[in-house]
Amino acid sequence: MTSMQFNTFDAFEDAGDGARSGEEKVHVRVQQRNGRKCITTVAGLADDLDIKRICKAFKKNFSCNGAVQKDEESGEVIQLSGDQRTNVKDFLVDQEISAPDSVVLHGF
Cα separation values, 12 from 15, 18, 107, Å: 5, 12, 19
pTM above 0.85, yes or no: no
Rounded Cα–Cα distance for residues 10 and 93 (Å): 28
User: Tens place of pLDDT for every residue, the chain, 108 residues?
Assistant: 566 565 665 555 555 544 444 468 999 999 999 999 999 999 999 999 999 999 999 999 999 999 999 988 888 999 999 999 999 999 999 999 999 999 999 986
Q: What is the pLDDT of residue 20?
A: 44
The Cα-based distances of 102 to 3, 21, 38, 78, 80 in angstroms read 40, 11, 24, 17, 20
Q: Quick one: pLDDT at residue 4?
A: 59
